Structure 1
Amino acid sequence: MSATVPPPLLRRVPPSGWTALVWCASTLFTLLTTVRLPGETEPGQWPAAQLYRWDGLTVTVLSTALVLYGGPLLGRRPLVALAVLIAAAIGETTTLGVGELPMAQYLAVAVALYFVAAGRPRRTAAAGLALAVGTLVGFVAFRLLRGWSAGVSAELAVALVAVIAWLLGDSAHRSREHARWMNERAAEQAVTAERLRIAREMHDTVAHSIGIIALQAGAAVRVAATRPDAAREAMRAVEATGRETLAGLRRMLVALRETDPDPTDPTDPTGPIAPTDPACPIDSVGLGGLDRLAAATTAAGVRVEVRRLGEVRRLPPDVDLSAFRIVQESVTNVVRHSGAPACRVTVDYGEGALALEVTDDGRGHGTATGTGFGLAGMRERVALLHGEFSAAPRPEGGFRVAARLPLPAAAPR
């Protein structure tokens, strides 16, 4: 079993961790600016009277509690999380006696805005930006309407930082979308290339030989009564050409099967589930071998729970084999990359389609096995059958692979 490469340290920190870290750092920075540091003749900013009083310290603690509460909401309710973080920034600002929302207090909001723009749809991200910038405008307008001083220039700088954070997040979001689009395009091109390759093989191996067989057979029919020796010679040519064609077809099938991952690979935790295994009949390389796959993977250390829905029945060979390979590859990814102790496999025998789902509670990173074409290979298999495929982290954690393979109207039962 290959060793799992953990993600970089910075990528392991969730958005809530980053917002909490930035908030603590900015609060510490704010407090440091109110004392005279070495080399200074006076503090960078004189503290407000209430900053170190019990009421000011209470507001600071409550604001920090809001940040710790709002950070985890970024994954589920991003706009609510932004509103909570903005409320925390406003709360701490009231202890500073300043005429604007300072940059330090708004940095956590800018970081949260980045994650919202990077991981959420464009409409949600735009609403978050409007909320963040609108709060700054409203804060300054409120002070001006009351006749108080307002740091308009400083607030413009804070708004600029918030917009830049949003643009960076939006750029990251667009990069991921482009990468996903490129992967889909690569899968479509791979399917097209494979179809063309099969068509060429079929033409080179079959079409020419079948043409010769047809001509020889026609000639044999015409001379069978008048020239039996010539007819026999023609039929011998038909036999020889047929054998050559059969050998070519076998070579083509072998070449096509070699594109699949080697099921006898000792590093494959699914074990020797292959037609070459004398203990495993050839029919088990399909959903009939799912229980054997589950048992082998469980023995490797990851429990596989198999659930079947609908009426279990025989499937077309191509659908049966592709469904098994999709489940096998998904389970292998769980073993090698997710770090989860178990996964769940659901096979739904519907009326018009076979639905597959493999879920786990691991790290939520979809990683292909072997040479890195696991997910692409599954997507190609599904595309060849005109089905639907999806593979993505789950909102509640872990990863989900789902496929829907259409079944012929008269599928064998």
Structure 2
Amino acid sequence: MTHALRPPLLLRMRPVFQVLTDVAIAAFLGVASVSATIARIPPNDEGEPLRIIVGSLMALPLAVRSRRPVPVLAAVTGTSMLTVALGWVHPHAALVPDLLLVFALYPVAVTAETRRAVAALVLSASGISAAVLFAVAQEQQPDWGRSLPMLATQMVIPIAVWVMGRAVRARREYEARAVQQVLIDERLRIARDLHDGVAHSLSLITVQASVALHVADERPEETRSALTVIEATSREAARELRRMLGLLRAVDEDPQTAAQLQPAPTADRLAELADHAATAGVQVDLRIGEGLDTVPATIGLAIYRIVQESLTNVIKHAAPARCVVRVERTGDALEIEVTDDGRRAPTGHPPGHGLIGMRERVAVYGGEFTAGPLPGHGFRVHAMLPLEGMPA
């Protein structure tokens, strides 16, 4: 539903609030900067209009600081340097230029890349400092003992604000990466489940279709049997796809739909995998240990998928063959072992997604996974899933 994706009203109004905030800051500091520049006008001095204009130009750019942070910082720094160097603002108490620098520097620290942000800090802070030192040097009796510590104290505030801005930027980047990683992990999970759920069924369908094609004329009964297996396997694949698509489409606002979804397959359905494999010429010896009914559903799904993908590989690469599937609890771990005696022709191709998917599933639980050919012929898949904290 498209209307549900609209952000809340306050979130949509945030850009407006940001603009109004920047305008308010510019107006307040504009009054302060104009007051600071005209406060030291000597008697009979006719430069008041010019001081008002320059004082206004010191702060007015802050009205667009969120949209043009770097040009605003340059304008604020330049006008502040001018007023301080000309002595229009007292160099020993340059509070207004310091505040202007703080508000102009923060957006640059938040939005700019590291090099640009560091350059902005160095150039602006050093520019203001140089203007203060120049103004102090023009005095008849420069008070360096007072000016230098005061200048150092005043520069601490912009530097601290800059550091805070960089911290905000780092936090935002981390949150963005975290969200992106969640999306990537979810895509990989969906891809892994689709591969494990559909590849097994398609492998059976391919084998049975090949059998039906070769015996269609001579042995019609075997053809009928192969087509029956294809029909049953297709139904199973369609059911698996409906379950997964239902999970993807389920939303919190519709709990009834979510409640009607079929549960994910677990270790109690391993016998179905063995029966399907038998129809493709793989005789499965299923050895299931005790205590599997107490494992969590997530572990049960991992058991099912690992065995499913292992049998799929046997069907695709080694059928007809014999296969032993052993699943049992050994202390604080769950052991899964699938071995076959089939002969695989060397292809020279890298491992497919099946082994990678199994390895990733085991890695999620901090387990161990190995897979490789046996001496002579055959193949072995072995996985250990830790079960710490589970009832024995």
TM-score (norm 2): 0.50
Who is 1:177 aligned against?
Answer: 173
Cα distance between partner residues in 1 of 2:97 and 2:24 = 12
Tell me by how many angstroms 1:232 deviates: 4.3
Letter in 2 for 1:75: R
Letter in 2 for 1:155: L
Who is 1:6 aligned against?
Answer: 9
Letter in 2 for 1:174: A
Tell me by how many angstroms 1:88 deviates: 3.2
Secondary structure of the residue aligned to 2:91 is: coil
Which structure has more helix as a fraction of its residues? 2
Who is 1:191 aligned against?
Answer: 187
Residues 79 and 157 from structure 1, CA distance in 2 versus in 1: closer, same or farther, beyond 3 angstroms?
same
Who is 2:151 aligned against?
Answer: 155
Who is 2:129 aligned against?
Answer: 137
Cα distance between partner residues in 2 of 1:135 and 1:191 = 50
Contact 2:197 2:240 in 1 (8 A): yes
Letter in 1 for 2:113: P
Who is 2:237 aligned against?
Answer: 249
Who is 1:105 aligned against?
Answer: 97
Letter in 2 for 1:22: I
**2:80 matched to 1:89?**
yes
Cα distance between partner residues in 2 of 1:179 and 1:124 = 22
Letter in 1 for 2:40: A
Cα distance between partner residues in 1 of 2:82 and 2:134 = 15
Structure 2's unaligned 5+ residue stretches are: 251-392
Contact 2:23 2:62 in 1 (8 A): no
Equivalent residue for 1:116, pick from 94, 108, 113: 108
Who is 2:71 aligned against?
Answer: 80
**2:201 matched to 1:201?**
no
Question: Which one has a bigger Cα radius of gyration?
Answer: 2
**2:117 matched to 1:128?**
no
Contact 1:63 1:91 in 2 (8 A): no
Aligned length in residues: 242
Root-mean-square deviation (CA), in Å?
4.0
Equivalent residue for 1:25, pick from 19, 22, 28: 28
Cα distance between partner residues in 2 of 1:21 and 1:153 = 32
Who is 1:402 aligned against?
Answer: none
Secondary structure of the residue aligned to 1:75 is: coil
Residues 136 and 68 from structure 1, CA distance in 2 versus in 1: closer, same or farther, beyond 3 angstroms?
closer
Residues 261 and 180 from structure 1, CA distance in 2 versus in 1: closer, same or farther, beyond 3 angstroms?
same
Tell me by how many angstroms 1:244 deviates: 1.2
Cα distance between partner residues in 2 of 1:176 and 1:236 = 62
Tell me by how many angstroms 1:179 deviates: 2.3
User: Map of 1:13-412 to 2, 5 A cutoff?
Assistant: 13-14=17-18, 18=21, 20-26=23-29, 47-50=39-42, 55-56=47-48, 58-69=50-61, 71-72=63-64, 75-76=67-68, 78-90=69-81, 93=84, 98-100=90-92, 102-146=94-138, 148-149=142-143, 151-208=147-204, 210-211=206-207, 231-255=219-243, 258=246
Contact 2:58 2:79 in 1 (8 A): yes
Letter in 1 for 2:235: A
Secondary structure of the residue aligned to 1:67 is: helix
Secondary structure of the residue aligned to 1:133 is: helix
Residues 182 and 13 from structure 1, CA distance in 2 versus in 1: closer, same or farther, beyond 3 angstroms?
same
Once the two structures are overlaid, the 10-residue window that deviates more, 155-164 or 252-261, is 252-261
Who is 1:337 aligned against?
Answer: none
Secondary structure of the residue aligned to 1:200 is: helix
Cα distance between partner residues in 2 of 1:97 and 1:4 = 46
Tell me by how many angstroms 1:169 deviates: 1.4
Tell me by how many angstroms 1:135 deviates: 1.3
Letter in 2 for 1:141: L
Cα distance between partner residues in 1 of 2:205 and 2:41 = 97
Tell me by how many angstroms 1:85 deviates: 0.7
Tell me by how many angstroms 1:144 deviates: 4.8
Q: Deviations over 1:60-99 (max 9, x none)?
A: 34321353246437634x4332121123334555575522
Letter in 2 for 1:108: L
Q: Deviations over 1:340-383 (max 9, x none)?
A: xxxxxxxxxxxxxxxxxxxxxxxxxxxxxxxxxxxxxxxxxxxx
Cα distance between partner residues in 1 of 2:44 and 2:16 = 36
Residues 113 and 180 from structure 1, CA distance in 2 versus in 1: closer, same or farther, beyond 3 angstroms?
same
Tell me by how many angstroms 1:248 deviates: 2.7
Tell me by how many angstroms 1:217 deviates: 7.4
Contact 1:117 1:166 in 2 (8 A): yes
TM-score (norm 1): 0.48
Secondary structure of the residue aligned to 1:159 is: helix
Who is 2:328 aligned against?
Answer: none
Structure 1's unaligned 5+ residue stretches are: 35-45, 226-230, 263-413
Letter in 1 for 2:124: A
